Structures are given as structure tokens and as C-alpha cells.
């Protein structure tokens, strides 16, 4: 079963195109983020207003957001009379639509790249680390797009999702690249396919959840900083990540989104680990052997379980719980990079030479 | 005194089973696993542990004292997970009481002041009796699948309804946590009653399942020899497929097996086991009480050695592959060579050993030590011959794939020459003996294992996922309705209130739909208090 070279080449150039298109989308998002009507200056001046606007958008989108303070002060009096989304008009609106279109196009390029790759090697296209990362990135982008469908307030945030995606894809396409080839016998199993696809999909969703968590922390930091500044009236200048705060959705809504995304990814990750154990039992006689890769999967699982717990523990919900999300993603990254590249275990299928 | 003690014990127990403790223990567990993935572990790769000792001679013993090389068998790791599971069991017991009983008894009666709840709306007044309205509302609720409804008539004549949905959430959560225990039980059963062994089987030979026939064997504390299932297994052909670049794509072994058969069944080795099977990676042979797994494969060169008295020794010796081209190292030790068949005493220092490098595809030019391809396209073997005392009858167990270099250095073994042989070629040694490279057979290594806790753990794991899904994707919510007699006989007012723990927005939308439906069936304009306002957050 030789690999089909022209298909493999097609796959590679499609990936390149995906990266280029994502980078373009990122540029559009970044410009729009910096100069959009809800830009930093505007938001500070007209903060109550923008809040109302944001809320109205949310009501239209099924009401995922809630700002109790606004309700009590009665500023949400008549949401429907506010413009739905002022920044979607004018050149900024064009830019945003272009950015979203480019993101979709990039994702389609990635899909094409994976299909070509699978066809080239005549197998599922997630057999080594390079392909795995491609799938994770694709899932990350797609989960963001899906979340955008019902949540308008996310649509101008593409740059935050695409940044890690482009970095990971660039790394995968250069350092970790491996030629299309059939699988080694140990990887040739139905359960492996199920295991790796579940792992890749849940990792992609975790990636998106991680981005949500970071955005929440930025917004939360911005909120506390600005309210502290108000209290002490000694206006402390905001430092870098928090200057991004004013254009982010309300902290509450980001926190809830972070949880939802993880609530989706966690059972899938649990299933991925179990499918891996079933496959390990068939291939190596034991379903669990504390191989470094297995151990780190376990660590990630426990950390994410701790996050779900923390969110239900009084005094932990909010900032503290979301820090656990960052920790969880860090363990996922350790598992992906450190374990695949530095340590050798039974899972040394990275295919990187 | 005793009371103080029980009080202390109670308090300790209360702390142990709290969520916060579980959180801390979960973190500890995650952290405790890190060294297990950082340092080499003895039960996975003892060789790496030895290498670590060589590389860090002072640090390694200190680490070892803290079980850094046996993390997952260490007392401190066990302490953490046992505490976690005691805590889990404790909280399960109390949570079964708190969450499972309401599942059976249904939702509680409506609270006195519905306006205190996070979502609240009023419809009416309506000129109908409370009982009539309660019936209407009830069927409306049933229509939108709120089926668990409890009706109470209050002394004032008002009728309240309490309805509940998503109560499976708590059940799912309990199932998940309980399933964790089941998985642990499965693991423990496997550890105590399971066994596994590794063996090498050469083509055309037979392996019978006894503890003695394994190269290595591990067993749980409660495994008796008699618990090891008797069966025999023979291998007639091994096939490996490779890509042109040498990457393997498929391994298959034709085997025959027979259960309830053993070596000492009156010359069992002469009869072949009955049932054929093709053993593959990822396709183990599963029998009652044991599974046979294909782990590795390689070549076993056959050397025919004719010693100076004309005694012939011939057998295949498995060599250990060391690279992708399957260049393989091994030694053939002949402790009984060169003994005069008619002599009385054993002659010392006449033992023979060959150290060899076998290459299935020799390169066109010497040195012939690195194979170019993993199949036998141009095979050959480089032999180093040794004579003297191999130490093999001295009873010290030692790797069979390499020669004891200390003996060579100490002069117990003398290098007598070297040669490269292709199949059929013979090397005549100076002492009149000779060695012929007859050819090769293939070998496979298998792991045979028995894990009685496997299916328990699998069942627990499946229940875990199911419980998780139910728990994370159902929203538990309650709805209360009071059909109350309005002031001064105006009519009946319908008060609705909703309560949920998570995801209050989606529930607010659902609540508004229900209020609208109630309004419609009672055909009165609603008089909202603070509805529709989806921004009210829950007071969870
Ligand atoms: C030791 C005592 C434990 C207690 C008291 C406890 C308690 C709880 C509670 C009350 C919830 C529900 C949170 C909510 O309603 O949102 C929960 C959820 C959860 N727990 Fe635990 N737990 C314990 C141990 C564990 C352990 C050992 C794990 C796994 C490593 C774990 C994993 C989870 C997960 C993943 C969830 C979220 C999913 C769900 O709601 O079912 N828990 N736990």
C-alpha cells in the first residue's frame, strides 16, 4: 500500500493555505478589535451603554448573558430599542465578516488537507503527532465557529482563538512534520481510531475552553481593576492583557461559557482515555500501565475533574476555578509536546525523527 | 471525654467528606502522579532505572528512598488515593440520603412566599376556582413534559403545585462517583488475582502454560500455581510485512492452541494442539482464564556446532533485534561442549560460546553488522567464538542475549576468532571443532495474562461516562404554582415561580414559555411583576 504522493502534496499545500488564510483572518480580527466602534476608548466613555447593547445582543441570542447589576439599576429597560450590533455596520463590519469568512475558509482548507492526507496514506488522518495537532486545531476553530452561531458577542474575538491555532499549526507543519505513511501494526486498531479521534476532538474543545478561560480572566481582571480604581479614584493605568478587557463579553458570561465548553470536553476526554485503555488491553495485555503518556492523560483528567468540582465548591467558583483550567491546558500541552518528544514510552508514535 | 472524642471524630469525618477536601485530594493525586511520568519506573522499564542510577549515582538512591521509581506502588500514592476513596465513599453515603430519597418522594411542597424565588410571575386574577385552575395548569405543565407534579391544598383554600424536571442530574452524579469506586475495585481485583508472564516462542515449537516455562512471570498476592490455566500453544509460521522503507505494517503468527493441556500429559509435546488461530498485534487470542498477546518478534539463527569429539549441538537461538532493519544480537552458549563422551570427570575451561550479530539483509560490503532491511533478503551472521568457562553452570541468572563481559576481561573466556557466515557456510575453528550457520527461524514473544478485574473496571468506566453525561447535560429545575384566592373575592390569582441551580438563562426562557402557556389557557392578560426579565440570576 504505497502512499499517493500527489495527494500527500495536495494535503501539504492545503495546510499551508489554511495557515495563510487563518493569518489573514487574524489580521482582520486584530484591526477590527483595535479600531472597532466598541474599541477601548469608546467603551470606557460609554460603558453603561455598551453593556446594554451587549446585553440586547444576548437576549436576541437566547439570553446567555446576565448582568444582575444592570437589572437592579434598571438600565436594561428596553433592550429591543437599542441597535443590535453597532459594529457590524461600515468598514468595520465588512472587516469582521471578512475575518469570519476567512476563518471558515481556513477550516475548510484544513478539512481538505486532512481528507487528502487520509486518502494519500489510505487510513484515518490522525496517526502521528503532526496529524493529531492538525485535528486538534481544526476542532478548536470549529468549536469557536459553532459557539459564534448563537453567541454574537464572540464574533469579534476570533483573533484569540486563531493565535494559538496558528502557532500550533506552524509548529506542526515545520518541526513535527512527518510524511504520510501507513500505520505501524500497534496503531492498527479500531479502538485506536476511536481513541485518537476522541482525544483529538476533546483536546480541540479544551483548547477552545482554555481560550475562553483566558478571556474570562482578562475580563475579570479588567473589572476588578477598574472598580478598584473607581473606589480609590487614583486611576491606575491598566497593564497589557487587561487593556483588552473592555471589548470582551461580561465576565459572568465568559465564565459560564468556559464551564459549558469544559462540560462538553470532559466526558469526551474521559471516553478517550477509556477507549485508549481498551485498545491498550488488546495491544499490550494491560489496560493501564502508567506509561508516561497514560500518566499525563490521567493527570489532565484529574485536573479537569478538579475544575468541575471547584466550580461547584463555594469560594472557588470564578477566578480560582478558571485558573485550574489554565493548569489543565498546561498538562495537556506537557502531554503533547514533552512526552511525545522528550520521553520514550510505548506511545512513541510521534513519527518525528 | 468520650463525647469530646466522638465530637472530634465527627468533625474530622465531616471534613474528610467535604467537597473542599475532595478538591485538595484531587490536586494531590494529580501532583503525585507527576514524578511517575518524570522518573523511569521500575515496573515499566527496569533498564531505564538502572541507567538513571548510572547517570545520577548520588541522587538516585535518595530518590529511591522516596519511591520515585515505584511511584504507583508507593505508600504515599496509595495514601492519597485511599483517602480520596474513603472521602468519596463517605460523601456518597450522605449524598444518597440527600439526593436519592427526593427522587422517590417527589418534589417538596411549594414555599410560602413564591415571590422570594429567583423567577416569579403572576397571572390573573381569573374568575375560576383554584381547583379548576390547578387542573388546567397541571395539564399545561404535563403538555410541556413536566410530569412529576405534587399538589397540596393549603388551609387557606389555595392550591399549590410543585413540579420538578432534570432530577436525574443528581442520579447521574451519584452514578459517576459510585462508578469510580467500581473501577477501583476492578483494578484491585486484577492486582490481587491477576497474573502475567512473558515467553518467547520459536517457529515450530510449543509453549505450555506453567510458571516454569516463562522468562518472566508476575502474579498478584492471591494467585496460587493451581489458578494458572493449563493450555499449550504452538507456532508454525510468522509473517511480517514491511514497507520499502522498512516500516512494519503487519505481523501475523499462525498458532494452534489447546486448552486443558499441559506438558506432562504423557509426552504432550509430540502432539500438536488442535485449534488454529492467527495471532496479530491488536488481535489477541482469548481463552477462558487467559489471553495471549503478540508483543514482539525477531530471528533465531540456527547454529550447528560439532565439537572436537564429534558431538553435534544444533538449535535455534532467539536473537534480540536492535534496529529497524532487525540487526540482532545474541549469544549461543554451549556449556556441555567438548566433554569427552567416554570421560568420567568434567573437563574445565572447554565450554564454547558464540557472540553473534545477525543481519537479515547484509549490506553489500563489510562490516556486516547493520541490516539494510528487516526481511531475509541476504542474511548472514558475524560470530565471535569464545572458549573457556562461560560461568553458565555457576547458577547466576543472566541475560541470554549478551555474554558476561567480566568473564572475558578476567580471562575466563578467550576469544578464539571471528567469522562472517552466510546460510550453509561453515567455520572451522583451530581446535578442530566447527560451526555451521544452518539458517534462521522466526520467533515471537507473547505475553500471557489473566486479569479477573478487567470487566468490572470496564463496566465501571462505562457507567462513569454515562453518569457524567447525564449529570453534565441535565439541568435540574423546579417550578411552583400557587392558585390562590384573590382579595375580596375578585377571583383566583395564579402565581408561578421557578428555581434552578445552573444555567439560569435557559431556564428563564423556559419559564417565560410556561407563563405564556398558562396565560393563554386561562385567557387573561398577565400582570407581570418582574417578568419578562431573563436577566435574573439564580440564587444557587
Ligand atoms: C471525595 C469526595 C467527593 C465529593 C464529596 C464529591 C462531590 C461532588 C459533587 C457534590 C459534585 C456535583 C457538582 C455539581 O453539582 O456541579 C461533584 C461533581 C464531580 N465530581 Fe466529585 N466528589 C468527590 C470525589 C470525586 C472524585 C474522586 C472525582 C474524580 C477524580 C470526582 C469527579 C467529579 C466530576 C468530574 C464532577 C463533575 C461531573 C458531575 O457533576 O457529575 N469527584 N462531585
Quote the DSSP letter at residue B112.
S
CA–CA separation, B137 vs B152, rounded Å?
14
Q: B288: which DSSP letter?
A: T
As given in the structure block, the three cell numbers for residue A254 are 465568559
Q: What share of chain B is helix, strand, coil (3-state, %, to 5)?
A: 35, 30, 35
CA distance A130 to chain B (A): 18
Does B281 reach chain A within 8 Å, measured CB to CB?
Answer: yes
For the question of whether the overall pTM of this predicted structure is more than 0.80, the answer is: yes
Please give the pLDDT value at position B412: 82
Interface probe for A, chosen from B25, B29, B30, B289 (most Cβ of A below 10 Å), is: B30
Q: What atom in ligand 1 is closest to the CA of residue B502?
A: 16
Chain A interface disruption, residue of B37, B214, B239, B247, most A CBs within 10 A: B37
pLDDT greater at residue A321 or residue B476: A321
Is residue B270 very low, low, confident or very high in pLDDT (cuts 50, 70, 90)? low
Q: How far is B246 from chain A (nearest CA, A)?
A: 11
Q: Report pLDDT for A72.
A: 27
**DSSP label at A205?**
H
Residue A216: cis peptide before it, omega within 30 degrees of 0: no
Of B355, B329, B349, give the one whose Cα is nearest residue B391: B349
More reliable by pLDDT, A235 or B185: B185
**Per-residue model confidence (pLDDT) at position B141:** 86
Percentage of residues in chain B having pLDDT higher than 90: 23
Q: Residue B269 above 70 pLDDT? A: no
Mutate to test the interface with B, among A52, A60, A61, A63 (most CBs of B within 10 A): A63
pLDDT in tens, chain A (353 residues): 456 778 888 888 899 999 999 999 999 888 888 776 543 333 333 333 333 333 333 333 333 333 332 222 233 333 333 334 444 557 777 888 888 999 999 999 999 999 998 888 878 888 788 889 999 999 999 999 999 888 888 888 888 999 999 999 998 888 778 777 777 777 778 888 899 999 999 999 999 999 999 999 999 988 887 776 565 655 566 777 777 777 788 888 899 899 999 999 999 999 999 999 999 888 888 898 888 888 999 999 999 999 998 888 877 888 899 999 999 999 999 988 888 777 655 555 544 43
For B204, left (φ over 0), alpha (ψ -120 to 50), or beta?
A: left
Task: Work out the average pLDDT over B379-396.
Answer: 82
Across the range B90-107, mean pLDDT stands at 79
Q: What is the pLDDT of residue B537?
A: 38
Nearest CA in chain A to B242: A184
pLDDT at B84 over 70: yes
Q: What whole-number distance in Å separates Cα of residue B289 and Cα of residue A281? A: 15
Pocket of ligand 1 (CB under 6 A): A 302, 305, 308-309, 312; B 17, 19, 22, 26, 84, 87-88, 91, 173, 176-177, 180, 468, 471-472
**Ligand 1 atom, smallest distance to A305 CA:** 35
Would the CB atoms of B505 and A62 count as touching at under 8 Å? yes
Please give the backbone phi and psi of residue B507, each rounded to the nearest 5 degrees, phi first: -70, -35
Ligand 1 mean position, distance from CA B23 (Å): 9
Place of cell 548520588: B58
pLDDT score recorded for residue B526: 45
pLDDT digits (tens, 9 = 90+) for B297-347: 999 999 999 988 888 999 899 999 988 889 999 998 888 888 888 877 777
Q: Which of A185, A262, A270, A272 to mutate to test the interface with B (most CBs of B within 10 A)?
A: A185
Contact B295, B446 (CB under 8 A): yes
Separation of alpha carbons B508 and B179, rounded Å: 33
Cα atoms in the 13 Å half-sphere on the side-chain side of B247: 17
**DSSP labels for A42-68?**
HHHHTHHHHHHHHHHHHHHTT-----H
For ligand 1, what atom is nearest to the CA of residue B467? 41
Q: Using a CB-CB distance cutoff of 8 angstroms, which residues of chain A are in contact with residue B30? A: 299, 302-303, 306, 331
Contacts of B196 in chain A (CB under 8 A): 285-286
CB contact under 8 A, A186 and B503: no
Close Cβ partners of B332 (under 8 Å, ≥ 6 residues apart):
B301, B303, B305, B317, B353, B354, B356
Q: What was the pLDDT predicted at A55?
A: 35
A279–B282 CB contact, under 8 Å:
yes
- pLDDT for the residue B244: 87
CA distances from B46 to A280, B7, B331, B361, B405 (A): 20, 49, 22, 31, 20
Q: pLDDT band at residue B395, thresholds of 50, 70 and 90?
A: low
Output the residue whose Cα is nearest ligand 1's atom 37: A308
Stretch B60-64: mean pLDDT, rounded? 90
A contacts of B451 (beta carbons < 8 Å): 286-287
Question: Is residue B44 within 8 Å of residue B72, measured between CB atoms?
Answer: no
DSSP string, B494-519: EEEEEEESS-HHHHHHHHHHHHHHHH
Shortest CA distance to B429 belongs to which of B248, B305, B332? B305
C-alpha cell at A146: 459553532
According to the model, what pLDDT value does residue B179 have? Answer: 94
Atom of ligand 1 at shortest range from CA of B90: 2
Using DSSP's 3-state secondary structure scheme, residue A251 falls into helix
Confidence class of residue B496 from pLDDT cuts 50, 70 and 90?
confident
Query: What does B48-97 look like in DSSP terms, one character per residue?
Result: HHHHHHHH-TTHHHHHHHTTTTSGGGSHHHHHHHHHHHHHHHHHHHHHII
Closest Cα partner for A293 from A231, A344, A224, A238? A344
In this structure, are strands B380-388 and B148-153 parallel, antiparallel, or unpaired?
unpaired
Residue that the C-alpha cell 466598541 belongs to? A38
A16 burial (CB, 10 Å; 0-12 / 13-18 / 19+) is middle
User: Whole-angstrom Cα distance, residue B454 to residue B286?
Assistant: 13
Could B196 and A68 be called an inter-chain contact, meaning their C-beta atoms sit closer than 8 Å? no
Nearest atom in ligand 1 to A311's CA: 16
Say what the pLDDT of residue A141 is.
94
Cell readout for A328 is: 489543565
Q: Looking at this predicted complex, what is its ipTM? A: 0.81
As a whole number, the mean pLDDT across chain B is 83
Residue B456 falls in which region: left (phi positive, over 0), alpha (psi -120 to 50) or beta: alpha
Q: Which position has the higher pLDDT, B533 or A196?
A: A196
What pLDDT is stored for residue B463 in this prediction? 96
Question: How many residues are there in chain B?
Answer: 540
| Contact yes or no for A178/A28 (Cβ under 8 A) | no
Question: What are the angstrom distances between the C-alpha of B56 and each of A203, A213, A344, B64, B417?
Answer: 36, 40, 19, 12, 38
Please list every residue in chain A whose beta carbon sits closer than 8 Å to the beta carbon of residue B534. Answer: 59, 63, 66
Q: Between residues 437 and 496 of chain B, which touch chain A (CB distance below 8 Å)?
A: 447, 449, 451, 454, 457-458, 461-462, 464-465, 468-469, 472-473
Euclidean distance between CA atoms A135 and A118, whole angstroms? 12
Cβ neighbours for B86, distance < 8 A, ≥ 6 positions apart:
B16
- Which has the closest alpha carbon to B283: B306, B253, B243, B258? B253
Closest CA to A204 of A305, A105, A126: A126
Partners of A306 on chain B (C-beta within 8 Å) are 23, 26-27, 30
Q: For residues B94 and B81, what is the distance between their CA atoms, to the nearest angstrom?
A: 20
B284 touches chain A (CB under 8 A): yes
**End-to-end Cα distance, chain B:** 40
CB B502 within 8 A of CB B540: yes
DSSP track, B355-381: EEEEESB--SSS-TTS-SSSS-SB-EE
DSSP B216-243: EEEE-TT--GGGS--EEEEEEEEEEEE-
Residues of A in contact with B535 (CB under 8 A): 55, 63, 66-68, 70-71, 76
Instruction: Render A285-348 in DSSP notation, one character per residue.
Output: S-S----HHHHHHHHHHHHHHHHHHHHHSTTTTTHHHHHHHHHHHHHHHIIIIIIHHT---TT-
Are B33 and A295 inside 8 Å of each other by CB?
yes
> Which cell numbers in the block locate residue B138?
397541571
Amino acid at each position: 500500500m504505497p502512499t499517493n504522493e500527489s495527494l500527500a502534496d495536495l494535503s501539504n499545500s492545503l495546510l499551508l493555505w489554511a495557515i495563510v488564510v487563518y493569518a489573514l483572518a487574524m489580521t482582520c480580527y486584530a484591526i477590527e478589535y483595535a479600531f472597532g466602534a466598541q474599541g477601548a476608548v469608546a467603551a470606557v466613555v460609554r460603558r453603561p451603554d455598551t453593556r446594554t447593547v451587549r446585553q440586547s445582543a444576548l437576549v436576541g441570542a437566547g439570553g446567555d448573558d446576565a448582568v444582575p447589576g444592570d437589572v437592579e439599576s434598571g438600565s436594561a429597560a428596553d433592550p429591543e430599542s437599542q441597535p443590535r450590533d453597532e459594529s457590524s455596520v461600515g468598514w468595520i463590519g465588512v472587516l469582521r465578516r471578512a475575518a469570519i469568512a476567512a476563518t471558515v475558509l481556513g477550516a475548510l482548507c484544513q478539512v481538505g488537507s486532512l481528507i487528502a492526507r487520509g486518502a494519500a496514506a489510505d487510513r484515518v488522518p490522525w496517526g502521528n503527532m503532526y496529524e493529531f495537532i492538525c485535528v486538534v486545531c481544526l476542532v478548536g476553530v470549529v468549536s469557536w465557529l459553532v459557539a459564534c452561531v448563537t453567541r454574537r458577542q464572540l464574533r469579534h474575538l476570533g483573533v484569540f482563538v486563531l493565535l494559538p491555532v496558528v502557532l500550533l499549526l506552524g509548529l506542526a507543519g515545520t518541526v513535527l512534520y512527518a510524511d504520510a505513511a501507513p500505520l505501524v501494526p500497534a496503531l492498527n486498531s479500531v479502538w485506536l481510531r476511536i481513541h485518537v479521534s476522541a482525544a483529538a476532538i476533546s483536546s480541540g474543545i479544551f483548547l477552545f475552553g482554555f481560550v475562553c478561560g483566558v478571556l474570562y480572566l482578562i475580563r475579570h481582571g479588567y473589572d476588578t481593576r477598574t472598580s478598584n480604581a473607581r473606589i480609590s479614584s487614583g486611576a491606575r493605568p491598566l497593564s497589557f492583557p487587561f487593556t483588552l478587557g473592555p471589548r470582551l463579553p461580561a465576565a459572568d458570561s465568559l465564565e459560564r461559557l468556559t464551564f459549558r465548553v469544559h462540560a462538553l470536553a470532559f466526558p469526551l476526554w474521559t471516553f478517550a482515555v477509556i477507549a485508549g485503555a481498551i485498545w491498550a488491553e488488546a495491544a499490550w495485555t494491560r489496560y493501564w500501565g502508567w506509561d508516561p503518556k497514560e500518566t499525563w492523560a490521567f493527570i489532565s483528567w484529574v485536573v479537569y475533574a478538579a475544575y468541575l468540582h471547584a466550580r461547584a465548591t463555594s469560594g472557588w467558583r470564578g477566578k480560582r476555578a478558571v485558573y485550574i483550567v489554565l493548569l489543565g491546558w498546561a498538562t495537556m500541552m506537557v502531554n503533547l509536546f514533552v512526552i511525545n518528544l522528550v520521553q520514550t514510552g510505548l506511545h512513541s508514535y510521534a513519527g518525528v525523527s | 471525654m468520650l463525647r469530646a472524642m466522638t465530637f472530634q471524630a465527627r468533625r474530622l469525618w465531616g471534613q474528610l467528606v467535604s467537597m473542599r477536601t475532595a478538591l485538595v485530594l484531587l490536586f494531590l493525586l494529580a501532583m503525585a502522579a507527576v514524578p511517575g511520568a518524570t522518573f523511569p519506573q521500575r515496573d515499566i522499564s527496569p533498564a531505564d532505572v538502572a541507567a538513571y542510577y548510572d547517570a545520577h549515582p548520588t541522587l538516585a538512591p535518595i530518590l529511591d528512598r522516596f519511591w520515585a521509581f515505584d511511584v504507583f506502588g508507593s505508600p504515599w500514592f496509595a495514601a492519597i488515593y485511599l483517602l480520596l476513596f474513603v472521602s468519596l465513599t463517605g460523601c456518597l453515603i450522605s449524598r444518597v440520603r440527600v439526593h436519592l430519597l427526593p427522587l422517590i418522594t417527589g418534589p417538596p411542597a411549594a414555599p410560602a412566599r413564591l415571590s422570594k424565588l429567583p423567577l416569579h410571575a403572576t397571572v390573573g386574577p381569573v374568575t375560576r376556582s383554584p381547583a379548576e385552575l390547578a387542573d388546567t395548569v397541571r395539564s399545561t405543565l404535563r403538555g410541556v413534559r413536566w410530569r412529576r407534579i405534587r399538589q397540596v391544598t393549603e388551609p387557606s383554600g389555595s392550591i399549590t403545585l410543585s413540579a420538578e424536571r432534570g432530577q436525574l442530574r443528581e442520579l447521574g452524579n451519584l452514578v459517576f462517583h459510585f462508578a469510580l469506586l467500581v473501577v477501583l475495585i476492578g483494578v484491585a481485583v486484577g492486582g490481587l488475582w491477576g497474573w502475567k508472564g512473558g515467553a518467547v516462542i520459536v517457529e515450530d515449537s510449543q509453549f505450555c502454560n506453567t510458571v516454569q516455562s516463562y522468562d518472566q512471570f508476575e502474579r498478584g498476592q492471591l494467585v496460587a500455581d493451581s489458578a494458572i490455566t493449563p493450555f499449550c500453544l504452538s507456532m508454525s509460521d510468522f509473517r511480517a510485512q514491511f514497507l520499502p522503507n522498512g516500516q512494519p505494517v503487519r505481523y501475523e503468527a499462525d498458532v494452534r492452541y489447546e486448552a486443558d493441556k499441559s506438558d506432562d500429559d504423557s509426552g504432550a509435546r509430540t502432539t500438536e494442539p488442535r485449534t488454529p488461530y492467527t495471532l496479530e498485534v491488536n488481535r489477541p487470542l482469548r481463552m477462558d482464564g487467559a489471553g495471549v498477546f503478540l508483543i514482539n518478534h525477531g530471528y533465531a539463527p540456527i547454529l550447528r556446532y560439532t565439537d572436537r569429539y564429534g558431538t553435534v549441538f544444533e538449535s535455534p537461538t532467539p536473537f534480540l533485534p536492535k534496529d529497524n532493519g532487525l540487526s540482532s544480537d545474541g549469544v549461543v552458549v554451549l556449556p556441555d561442549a567438548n566433554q569427552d563422551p567416554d570421560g568420567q570427570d568434567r573437563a574445565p575451561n572447554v565450554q564454547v560460546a558464540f557472540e553473534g550479530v545477525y543481519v537479515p539483509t547484509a549490506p553489500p560490503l563489510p562490516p556486516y553488522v547493520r541490516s539494510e532491511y528487516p526481511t531475509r533478503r541476504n542474511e548472514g551472521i558475524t560470530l565471535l567464538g569464545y572458549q573457556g568457562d562461560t560461568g553458565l553452570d555457576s547458577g547466576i541468572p543472566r541475560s541470554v542475549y549478551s555474554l558476561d563481559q567480566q568473564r572475558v576481561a578476567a580471562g575466563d573466556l578467550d576469544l578464539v576468532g571471528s567469522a562472517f557466515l552466510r546460510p550453509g557456510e561453515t567455520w572451522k575453528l583451530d581446535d578442530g571443532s566447527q560451526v555451521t550457520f544452518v539458517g534462521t527461524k522466526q520467533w515471537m514473544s507473547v505475553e500471557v495474562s489473566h486479569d479477573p478485574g478487567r470487566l468490572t473496571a470496564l463496566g465501571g468506566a462505562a457507567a462513569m461516562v454515562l453518569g457524567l453525561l447525564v449529570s453534565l447535560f441535565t439541568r435540574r429545575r423546579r417550578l411552583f404554582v400557587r392558585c390562590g384566592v384573590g382579595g375580596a373575592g375578585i377571583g383566583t390569582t395564579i402565581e408561578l415561580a421557578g428555581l434552578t441551580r445552573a444555567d439560569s438563562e435557559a431556564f428563564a426562557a423556559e419559564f417565560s414559555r410556561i407563563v405564556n402557556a398558562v396565560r393563554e389557557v386561562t385567557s387573561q392578560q398577565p400582570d407581570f411583576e418582574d417578568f419578562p426579565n431573563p436577566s435574573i440570576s439564580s440564587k444557587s
